[in-house]
Amino acid sequence: MQRKHVLAAGVALAAAAAAVVGTTIGFADTTPGPQSACSGSVTFSAESGAPAATSDRFPVGTRLRVTNLENDKVATVTVTGPSGSCVLLNTAAMDAIREPGKNVIQRTVVERLTDETPPPGDTPLSGEAAPTAHQRRPGSAQRPASSATGSPTTPAGPGVCDGPITFSADPGAPAATSGQFPVGTRLRVTNLDNGKTVTVTVTGPSGSCVLLNTAAMDAIREPGKNLVRRNTLELLR
């Protein structure tokens, strides 16, 4: 009888320990991570200086923390001006967090910092700003125009894809990704500094109004420049 009681007590203790361990593991697995204020990939311009960024969502002076989830490297930047991306890092900020040889960070978390934002390791504060004109879909108020080839076009118009256009390192035929236009949209991008034009199809989402791939950028950029600052964008029908 004593041996049975001892065995029963041992089984009960083991079951309780398993329950505690299982509960602890369950909580660890379900802890939510920080939500990003920008969806899609993050890339960079050739701007020099201390780590900084430009943005079509956050006003000048906003402080952001950008984390590369592939290597857990973090850059804290201040928005210094507008761009055609939710966040477009400068060279120093990109160099601080990117993988060697990569011009695009596919998996990121972008957090808006305030004076009360806890340091890394505590619960982060994620910020969402109201959508700007860059997040709005092209509206019916846009007037059709005719291109030099006779194809009907719709000018992007003021407030849509303002600012410089940059590129990712994606290979393949000229194409683009976009946070503004749906997959399958055909766009014509013109570099006003040299008159060069490229026609692209949107193949997926990104954190930019329009983010060209390598082939599209090479078709219109000035040698050695990673940005097309003066550009026009047309929707092709």
Rounded CA gap, 83 and 88, in Å?
7
DSSP 8-state class, residue 165: B
- Asked if residue 208 lies in contact with residue 231, where contact means CB atoms within 8 angstroms, the answer is no
**Within the chain, what is the greatest distance between any pair of CA atoms?**
99
**Topology match between the domains 43-113 and 133-236:** yes
Q: How do the domains of the chain map onto residue ranges?
A: 43-113, 133-236
Nearest to 85 by CA among 108, 64, 57, 59: 57
Residue where the block lists tokens 């949107």: 202
What global pTM score does this model have? Answer: 0.47
| Sign of CA pseudo-dihedral 223, 227, 231, 233 | positive
CA-CA-CA-CA torsion for 36, 37, 39, 41, nearest 10 degrees?
Answer: -80
pLDDT 10s digits, 32-72: 567 888 887 888 877 888 889 988 889 889 999 999 999 99
Instruction: Tell me the percentage of the chain whose pLDDT exceeds 70.
Output: 67
pLDDT at 74: 92
Residue where the block lists tokens 């290597």: 71
- Asked if residue 86 lies in contact with residue 110, where contact means CB atoms within 8 angstroms, the answer is yes
Rounded CA gap, 87 and 14, in Å?
52
Which has more pLDDT, 205 or 220?
220
Segment 208-224 mean pLDDT: 89
pLDDT at 169: 76
Residue 128 burial class via C-beta count within 10 angstroms: exposed 0-12, middle 13-18, buried 19 and up = exposed
- Average pLDDT over the chain reads 73
- Asked if residue 133 lies in contact with residue 200, where contact means CB atoms within 8 angstroms, the answer is no
Query: Lowest-pLDDT range, 59-63, 155-159, 166-170, 218-222?
Result: 155-159
Which has more pLDDT, 55 or 21?
55
Phi and psi angles of residue 184, each rounded to the nearest 5 degrees, phi first: 100, -15
Q: b vs e for 28-49, b when ≥16 Cβ sit within 10 Å of the residue's Cβ? A: eeeeeeeebbbebbbbbbebee
Helix/strand/coil (H/E/C) assignment for every residue in 117-153: CCCECECCCCCCCCCCHHHCCCCCCCCCEECCCCCEE
Can you identify the CATH homologous superfamily of domain 43-113?
A: RlpA-like domain (2.40.40.10)
CATH entry 3.20.20.70 includes domain 133-236 = no
Give residue 40's region: left, alpha or beta (phi > 0; psi -120 to 50). Answer: left
β-bridge pairing 73-81 and 63-68: antiparallel
Residue type, 136: R
Segment 131-146 mean pLDDT: 35
